[in-house]
Amino acid sequence: MRLHRLIGIIMLLNSKEAVKARELAKILESSERTIYRDIDILCEAGIPIVSIPGPAGGFSFMEGYKFHTDFLYKKDIVNILLSTMGINVDKNTEAAQELKNTIIKLENSVPEKYREDIVKAKERFFFDAEPWWGKKLENKNIDIVKNAILDLKKMKINYRKYDGTETERIIRPYGVIVKNSQWYLVAFCEEKNQERIFKCSRIVNPEILLENFVIPREFSLEEFWGNSKQQFIEKAASEDVVCEKYPVKVKLFKEKKGFLEGFKILECLNHGAYWIYKIDMLSFETACSMLFPLSDEVQIIEPIEVKNFIIGKAKNILSFNNF
């Protein structure tokens, strides 16, 4: 991460007359103290950076010095491609810093008369990937996975299952699918001797091995994912397969199907004045987060643990507000 931040500082100083430490820290998502340490490292490496005092001052290159960055590396092209595909990397990753550096390079190559438009666009458009409630699940190990895929290197991983157990695998990473901000690694598992899908957030202690591999010429990432999705849908819809993960039974006094969208409805009975639904809500946590905001419209019948959670939460709210 430090290497990419140092490159970012060089390119920012290369594009402006003077940049304050506060501005560098904001752009590179770091602290001012870290920026000062990085400036010291660059000076020790022989890069002529000077400090200009005053309100319009800051750090800059010595007069007449210019660092040539009017070219893009292979990684820069890959980062631009991923970004145009809508594949956003998480903050505080190597990939995120590489993308920032690539954007800075591109901005530096734009004629001066167009740079004001770039500044306006950056100031007036903001993408917030965080959910309204709860925390966004971090996609761990993105940098390692991306490098292994691009370099065609085998990986050794521990994979954590839903029940918490871990198994060690040697895999050949073929590619990544990003769906709903989650990264899914498609890889050939040498233990199972077939292609498998691994959720990146459940990969533990990944290690890139020295051994290379070759992706079969007939393999298509898009086709594999499409077939896998279809098989999952067909399996979930099959009457012969029990796929319930967390069945919840609720009573609705108004027909409110909107909040059920995306969940598998296992049973629906119309009793005239109310409806009884049995829904697979996937997990206790999902059931609680979905049903609590609707607790004045939806009556939980079972399981009792969800019902008790809703009641306990309501009591805490009343107590907190001195009722």
In a domain, 136, yes or no: no
Question: Cα separation of 309 and 8, whole Å?
Answer: 48
For residue 69, give the 3-state DSSP assignment: coil
Q: What percent of the chain has pLDDT over 90?
A: 18
One domain, residues 232 and 251: no
One domain, residues 229 and 160: yes
One domain, residues 113 and 9: yes
In a domain, 270, yes or no: yes
Mean pLDDT of 212-234: 87
In a domain, 258, yes or no: yes
In a domain, 140, yes or no: no
In a domain, 100, yes or no: yes
Question: Cα separation of 13 and 38, whole Å?
Answer: 13
Condensed to tens digits (0 to 9), the pLDDT of residues 170-198 reads 999 999 988 767 788 999 999 999 999 99
Last residue of a domain, one of 190, 213, 237: 237
Q: What percent of the chain has pLDDT over 70?
A: 71
241, β-bridge pairs: none
- CATH code at position 47: 1.10.10.10
CA distances from 198 to 139, 158, 178, 187, 318 (A): 12, 11, 12, 8, 43
One domain, residues 120 and 58: yes
* Domains in the chain, number: 3
Domain residues for the domain of 204 are: 146-237
Which among 203, 205, 219, 210 has a CA at the least distance from the CA of 154? 210
DSSP H or E stretch at residue 287: helix 284-291
One domain, residues 190 and 210: yes
Question: Cα separation of 230 and 282, whole Å?
Answer: 19
One domain, residues 9 and 28: yes
DSSP state letter for 246: S
What is the pLDDT, as a whole number, of residue 185? 93
One domain, residues 10 and 105: yes
In a domain, 132, yes or no: no
Strands 264-270, 182-189: pairing is unpaired
Which among 198, 215, 195, 219 has a CA at the least distance from the CA of 144? 198
Mean pLDDT of 57-63: 85
- The structure's pTM equals 0.52
Mean pLDDT of 39-48: 79
Question: Cα separation of 177 and 87, whole Å?
Answer: 9
Pull the structure tokens for residue 299.
């009556």
Last residue of a domain, one of 75, 94, 124: 124
One domain, residues 262 and 202: no
- For residue 49, give every residue at least 6 positions away whose Cβ sits within 8 Å of its Cβ, in sequence order, or none: 13, 39, 42, 43, 59, 60, 61, 62
Condensed to tens digits (0 to 9), the pLDDT of residues 6-29 reads 777 887 887 777 889 998 888 888
Question: Cα separation of 294 and 291, whole Å?
Answer: 5
Condensed to tens digits (0 to 9), the pLDDT of residues 271-313 reads 888 888 888 887 777 788 788 888 778 889 988 888 888 888 8
- Helices (runs of H) and strands (runs of E) counted in the chain: 10, 11
Q: What is the mean pLDDT of the chain?
A: 78
One domain, residues 252 and 233: no
What is the pLDDT, as a whole number, of residue 12? 83
In a domain, 181, yes or no: yes
Condensed to tens digits (0 to 9), the pLDDT of residues 110-153 reads 556 666 776 777 677 766 666 655 455 566 678 888 889 989 99
Compute the CA torsion angle 34, 36, 38, 41 (nearest 10 deg).
-140
Q: Which has more pLDDT, 123 or 314?
A: 314
Question: Cα separation of 11 and 105, whole Å?
Answer: 7
Length of the chain in terms of residues written: 323
